[in-house]
Amino acid sequence: MLIRYKKHYEKIAMGLLSFMPKEKNLNNLRATMKKYEADPNYKLYLWKHEEDMIGIIGIYVQGDSIQIEHVCVNPSHRQQGIGKQIVKALSAEYPTKNITASEDTMNFYDKCFCTIENSVEQR
């Protein structure tokens, strides 16, 4: 289930974001969190599975477009299609927006793009 980020999820969000290569540095991670908290165009969502937050997706919304800035799943839950579920839920949350990927998320996005495109076409 996709859940909008709130300040009380900060430590969980930082932990999940830290799995991304550019966010391993604490100063970079803090700057990223500040951006998501301060700029209304940047939105952060957590993925809840049962009682645990196991994934995160950060987006930049502008006009008719959404760019995926961050996407990460806890390593113990990878290779289960959760990342694809997160992007599919994001697509359902913003059905009229065109979703693209940043340079940092392009490889992941390319892997699941066909699945997303097919599910959008089936609506």
- The CATH number assigned to the domain holding 51 equals 3.40.630.30
The pLDDT value given to residue 113: 61
Checking if the pLDDT of 123 tops 70, the result is no
Give 13-47 pLDDT, tens digit per residue.
999 999 998 999 999 999 999 999 999 999 999 99
C-alpha angle with apex 37: 35 to 38, nearest 5 degrees? 65
Give 34-82 pLDDT, tens digit per residue.
999 999 999 999 999 999 999 999 999 999 999 999 999 999 998 888 9
Checking if the pLDDT of 118 tops 50, the result is no
Element (H, E) at 17: helix 10-17
For 95, the token pair is 């059905």
Q: Which among 76, 72, 55, 81 has a CA at the least distance from the CA of 3?
A: 55
What's the structural domain count of the chain?
Answer: 1
The pLDDT value given to residue 106: 85
For residue 56, count CB atoms less than 10 angstroms from its CB and return exposed for 0-12, middle for 13-18, buried for 19 or more: buried
Higher model confidence: residue 81 or residue 117?
81
pTM, two decimal places: 0.86
Q: How confident is the model at residue 85 (pLDDT cuts 50, 70, 90)?
A: very high
With respect to residue 81, please indicate whether it lies within any of the assigned structural domains: yes
Exposure class string for 77-114: b at 16+ Cβ within 10 A, else e = eeeeebbbbbbbebbeeeeebebebeebbeebbeebbe
With respect to residue 25, please indicate whether it lies within any of the assigned structural domains: yes
With respect to residue 49, please indicate whether it lies within any of the assigned structural domains: yes
Integer Rg of the chain from CA? 14
With respect to residue 106, please indicate whether it lies within any of the assigned structural domains: yes
Give the domain extent around 88.
2-118
Place of tokens 């998501």: 36
With respect to residue 123, please indicate whether it lies within any of the assigned structural domains: no
With respect to residue 82, please indicate whether it lies within any of the assigned structural domains: yes
The pLDDT value given to residue 104: 86
